[in-house]
Homo-oligomer: A and B are copies of this chain.
């Protein structure tokens, strides 16, 4: 297809090209991990100069939608343990070290209809079907994070409890074609209840850090509601302000 950009009413050319490429990724025409065509090919395809196309790619790069490697090509961003650690996992040891939980234990896994709160949070119709996971994640050999995870059943057909690896987002992407792109986290302090005390081995009512995360796909659809409770005095949540 050698055709100029269609709807010319959408602001700067490079932004329009960017949107077209986002759409191509959302539709799955380019899959995570795939190499995109070269800059020259894309420029020809979209009927713009290489410089303009480059600006579109720069924008996608800045949004972590693609990764570029000089001499190799441009690739659709994929969830790897590395990216998970640097981008989506914010718990660090007080000594400054950060590492993904090496092991985790699934506590519950059920398919059921969502509560009002769950459906509301995930922007689903009332009583929509959801999958509900509970697990405990270990850090430094100790159970430290109690996670409560709710996802829309529609997005993850056939998800069952043998499938659950440590890296959920990689599973979402590779197993179900659902790419988590951004998330908003709300943090507060809570007092440990019975469940937290039992699973994390902390006293009742001891202060816990609660991280409430709503994660979205590329097109802004809420895809996961995760509530993590941290029961360790040797770890904290790190937030960098640049």
Contacts and interface: CB of A to CB of B under 8 A. Distances in A.
Interface of A: 62-64, 87-88, 90, 92, 182-191, 205-210, 212, 230, 233, 235-242
Given A88-B241, A208-B207, A189 B189 contact: yes
A184 B239 contact: yes
A209 B191 contact: no
Contacts of A64: 242
A187 B187 contact: yes
Given A207-B207, A207-B208, A208-B207, A241 B185 contact: yes
A240 B182 contact: yes
A182 B190 CA distance: 29
Contact of A209 (B90, B183, B187): B187
A242 B182 contact: yes
Contacts of A187: 187, 209, 236-239
B238 A183 contact: no
A53 to B, nearest CB: 16
Q: Which A-B residue pairs are the 8 nearest by beta carbons?
A: A207-B207, A189-B189, A189-B207, A187-B237, A189-B209, A185-B239, A188-B236, A183-B241
Please state the number of chain copies in the assembly.
Answer: 2
B237 A184 contact: no
A185 B242 contact: no
B242 A239 contact: no
A241 B87 CA distance: 7
A233 to B, nearest CB: 8
Nearest to A233: B188
B236 A184 contact: no
Which one of A87, A188, A190, A191 has the greatest number of beta carbons of chain B within 10 Å? A188
A92 to B, nearest CB: 8
A205 to B, nearest CB: 8
A170 to B, nearest CB: 16
Given A186-B237, A236-B187, A242 B63 contact: yes
Given A182-B240, A187-B209, 12 more contacts: A88-B241, A182-B242, A183-B240, A184-B238, A184-B240, A186-B237, A186-B238, A186-B239, A188-B235, A189-B207, A189-B210, A189-B230
Contacts of A239: 90, 184-187, 237, 239
A185 B185 CA distance: 15
